[in-house]
């Protein structure tokens, strides 16, 4: 394995000189390692994590920023022993540190499975993974080129990243069921820079225009306008950047990646409003292809259906596998690699049975037309009473 895992102390200065002295009284501040392996709780012993980017509400909701009532609501939430916002903020800080490392170490020539495992080892270490108290919220999406969502390598997958690839990295972290769902796109050549720029701008429009009482159908129109104002030239041919029409952002619930509201990428007549206190994954996808994705290839992602009816299972292997799924993942999404690592063997027949019985939902890879290229940017946003908090915002995207 060429992914040697030396835990190297990251030096804060450039070249350390001898004269560097430390005040004896000053407490030693822990430093993160490279690769990151020190639990975040070490850096935040009081359990208070950094706030994300706060954006003010607009138009009819400007008053919220200064409202005594709304400010009081938030003060109460922060004084609550539960510290309502700290779970999502911790998940987001783990996300930022893990992806910062990912952006450094991912390069052409690597196997996707090694990339996934490195990212996941980082998440588990930083969040101090502990059953359903905290850990990976869903399998690491590593979608290449015309494939846009829900692909992660299955055990034995030998796919290698190439120089000309467009790679979407979708990482999920949760703390006590609060899910940070955030994704970015990487390339290793400038060919698709405009595509990435279009999608980043469309996602930022979605974030900027989101707010309490904003209608989802109208917000989709603004995302669409931004995306469609770009084109990308590849080998002398000009392609319009299209939003993927059957993809969407979504509300997020506790241990529930999709809590019921969808934010489409094309203007529509959905008058459903965003509401105070909701968590949203604002994500957009652009493509040089059809603008429509279909299922392609073997399924890697699965999840126990959130409101699954209790069905009597006759197959003992399926019963036992369902117990494992409930214990290890609850209603969070998982993949075949995760079943392997918790010690399940020859589970495919039982897994397919759970799918056919309507207990487990498969999420097959979703891809546009072959030869096209797709890009994605995604952030988790919290609609606080006084402002929008883009919890996953970093200095990268």
The interface partner of residue 154, options being ligand A75, Mn ion, none and the CB cut-off 5 to 8 Å by kind, is none
Dihedral sign from CA coordinates of 205, 206, 207, 209: positive
Distance CA 160, CA 183 (A): 20
The interface partner of residue 230, options being ligand A75, Mn ion, none and the CB cut-off 5 to 8 Å by kind, is none
258 tagged catalytic = yes
Which of 165, 170, 204, 278 touches Mn ion (CB under 5 A)?
170
β partners of residue 160: 111
Binding site for ligand A75 (CB under 6 A): 138, 149-150, 181, 247-248, 250, 257-258, 262, 281, 283, 301, 303, 333, 363, 366
For Mn ion, which is the closer residue by CB, 274 or 322? 274
Q: Which stretch binds Mn ion (CB under 5 A): 82-90, 277-285, 309-317, 383-391?
A: 277-285
Residue 26 sits at φ, ψ, to 5 deg, of -65, 135
The interface partner of residue 363, options being Mn ion, ligand A75, none and the CB cut-off 5 to 8 Å by kind, is ligand A75
Residue 154, burial from CB neighbour count under 10 angstroms (0-12, 13-18, 19+):
middle
Rounded to 10°, the helix 112-127/86-105 angle is 150
For ligand A75, which is the closer residue by CB, 101 or 150? 150
Distance CA 343, CA 311 (A): 25
Name which of residues 367 to 386 contact Mn ion (CB under 5 A).
Answer: 378
Tell the smallest beta-carbon distance from residue 276 to ligand A75 (Å): 21
Contacts of 284 (CB under 8 A, 6+ apart): 199, 202, 203, 206, 223, 227, 243, 249, 265, 376, 377, 378
For Mn ion, which is the closer residue by CB, 148 or 183? 183
Secondary element (H or E) of residue 194: helix 193-209
Active-site choice (117, 128, 197, 258):
258
46 tagged catalytic = no
Tell the smallest beta-carbon distance from residue 151 to ligand A75 (Å): 11
Q: Assess 265 for contact with Mn ion (CB under 5 A).
A: no
Distance CA 226, CA 200 (A): 10
For ligand A75, which is the closer residue by CB, 365 or 387? 365
Tell the smallest beta-carbon distance from residue 256 to ligand A75 (Å): 9
Count of H helices and E strands in the chain?
A: 8, 20
36 with 126: CB under 8 angstroms?
yes
Tell the smallest beta-carbon distance from residue 93 to Mn ion (Å): 17
Q: Assess 147 for contact with Mn ion (CB under 5 A).
A: no
Distance CA 282, CA 214 (A): 13
Q: Assess 181 for contact with Mn ion (CB under 5 A).
A: yes
Q: And the tokens for 115?
A: 């990339």
Tell the smallest beta-carbon distance from residue 111 to Mn ion (Å): 22
170 tagged catalytic = yes
Distance CA 16, CA 31 (A): 15
The interface partner of residue 183, options being Mn ion, ligand A75, none and the CB cut-off 5 to 8 Å by kind, is Mn ion
For ligand A75, which is the closer residue by CB, 61 or 224? 224
250 tagged catalytic = yes
Active-site choice (165, 204, 283, 344):
283
For Mn ion, which is the closer residue by CB, 61 or 203? 203
270 with 372: CB under 8 angstroms?
no
The interface partner of residue 301, options being Mn ion, ligand A75, none and the CB cut-off 5 to 8 Å by kind, is ligand A75
Task: Please give the full DSSP string across 298-359, using - where no structure is assigned.
Answer: ---EEEE-TT--------HHHHHHHHHHHHHTTTS-EEHHHHHHTT--S-HHHHHHHHHTTS
For ligand A75, which is the closer residue by CB, 58 or 258? 258
Residues with a catalytic annotation lie at 170, 181, 250, 258, 283, 378
Residues near Mn ion (CB under 5 A): 170, 181, 183, 281, 283, 378
């Amino acid at each position: 394995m060429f992914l040697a895992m030396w835990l190297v102390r990251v030096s804060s200065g450039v070249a350390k000189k001898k004269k560097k002295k430390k005040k004896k009284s000053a407490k030693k501040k822990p430093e993160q390692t490279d690769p990151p392996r020190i639990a975040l709780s070490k850096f935040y012993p009081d359990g208070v994590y950094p706030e994300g980017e706060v954006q003010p509400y607009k138009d009819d909701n400007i008053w919220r920023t200064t409202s005594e009532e709304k400010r009081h609501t938030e003060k109460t939430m922060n004084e609550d022993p539960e510290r309502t916002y700290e779970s999502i903020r911790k998940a987001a800080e783990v996300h930022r540190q893990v992806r910062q490392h990912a952006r450094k170490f991912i390069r052409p020539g690597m196997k996707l499975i090694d990339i996934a495992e490195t990212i996941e080892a980082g998440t588990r270490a930083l969040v101090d993974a502990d059953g359903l108290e905290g850990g990976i919220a869903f399998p690491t999406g590593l979608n290449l080129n015309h494939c846009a969502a829900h692909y992660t390598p299955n055990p034995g997958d030998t796919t290698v990243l190439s120089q000309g690839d467009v790679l979407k990295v979708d990482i999920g972290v949760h703390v006590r069921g609060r899910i940070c769902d955030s994704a970015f796109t990487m390339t290793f050549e400038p060919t698709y820079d405009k595509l990435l720029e279009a999608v980043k701008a469309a996602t930022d429009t979605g974030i900027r225009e989101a707010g309490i009482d904003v209608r989802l159908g109208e917000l989709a129109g603004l995302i669409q306008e931004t995306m469609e104002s770009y084109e990308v030239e590849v080998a002398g041919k000009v392609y319009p950047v299209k939003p993927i029409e059957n993809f969407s952002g979504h509300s997020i619930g506790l241990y529930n990646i999709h809590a019921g509201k969808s934010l489409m990428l094309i203007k529509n007549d959905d008058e459903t409003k965003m509401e105070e206190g909701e968590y949203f994954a604002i994500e957009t996808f652009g493509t040089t292809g059809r603008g429509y994705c279909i299922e392609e290839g073997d399924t890697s992602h699965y999840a126990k259906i959130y409101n699954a009816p209790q069905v009597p299972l006759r197959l003992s292997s399926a019963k036992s596998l369902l117990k494992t799924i409930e214990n290890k993942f609850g209603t969070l999404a998982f993949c075949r690699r995760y079943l392997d690592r918790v010690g399940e063997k020859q589970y495919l027949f039982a897994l397919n049975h759970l799918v056919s019985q309507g207990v487990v939902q498969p999420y097959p890879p979703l891809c546009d037309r072959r030869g096209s290229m797709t890009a994605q940017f995604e952030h988790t946003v919290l609609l606080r009473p006084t402002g929008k908090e883009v919890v996953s915002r970093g200095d990268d995207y």
